[in-house]
Chains A and B, each alone.
Chain A
Amino acid sequence: MTTGYAIVLASGELERIMAVSNIAAVAAASEVPVDIFATMEGLEAFDRQTVADRSWEGGPIAEAMLSHGDVEVPLFTESFERAKELGPLSLYACELSMDLMDRTLSDYVDLFDDVLGVSGFLTKAQDKQVIFV
C-alpha cells in the first residue's frame, strides 16, 4: 500500500512546476506525505536569480499565470512554502544536477530539506506512488 506521492520534477516549464506545486500542496495539507525530487531543469527553476527575474520557460498558460490579471495565482515557491507549514512535504535537490552546474544548496531558494542522489530518493519513494513530471 502506498502512503503518499514521490514526485520527480525534471521539467523547467513553469506550468508543469505550478501543477506539481498545487497538487503537492493540497495533498500535504491533507496530511498525505509528499516527497519532491527536483532534478535537471526542474531544479534550475528554483535558482534564486531565476526566481527573482521570473525567467522560466513556458507556454501560454505560464504567461497567463505570471501576468495575473483577475485571478491571483500564487507562485510555486509560495505554494511549496505554505504547504510545508501545513503538512508533510519535503523537497530534495538532485546532487547530480547540482554537480553538473557547480551549484550549492544556497544557490536555490530556501525550500529544500536536503540534497539527494538517486538511491536516496528511491529509498524515500519506496512506499509511495511515483509521479514523473
Chain B
Amino acid sequence: MSESQTQADVTIDSRGAGCPGPLMDLIGKIKSADPGTVFELQTTDSSSKNDVPEWVEKANHEVLEIVDHDDYWSIFVEKS
C-alpha cells in the first residue's frame, strides 16, 4: 500500500463497478471540467488500471499517478 502525493480537485468513487464503468465515470466528469482540473478515480477493477491510462493518453490528458491501496486503486488524472 502507498500514499498519494497528489491533491485531487474531484474524487470519483467507482469502486465496485466493472469495466468500463470507471472509465465512463471519468469521461462523464472530465468532459465538463476546466483544463487543469485534477481527478482521483477510485476503482477496484484491475483492468481499469490499464484501460484508463490508455484512454487518458489518447484523449491528450495526463495520468499523474496511480496509487495502490491494496483493496482499490486511485488513478490521478489532470485534464489538458
Contact = CB atoms under 8 A, between A and B. Distances in A.
A29 B23 CA distance: 10
Contacts of B19: 22
A30 B20 CA distance: 13
B58 A71 contact: no
Interface in A51-80: 70-74, 79
Interface residues of A, number: 15
Tell me what chain A mostly uses at the interface: helix, strand, loop, or mixed: helix
A90 to B, nearest CB: 18
Number of contact residues on B: which range applies? 10 to 19
Interface string A12-42: 0000000000100110011000000000000
Interface in B1-53: 16-21, 23-24, 27-28, 31, 45
Given A22-B20, A30-B27, A70-B16, 18 more contacts: A22-B19, A26-B23, A26-B24, A26-B27, A29-B27, A29-B28, A71-B17, A71-B45, A72-B16, A72-B17, A72-B18, A73-B18, A73-B21, A74-B17, A79-B24, A82-B24, A83-B24, A86-B31
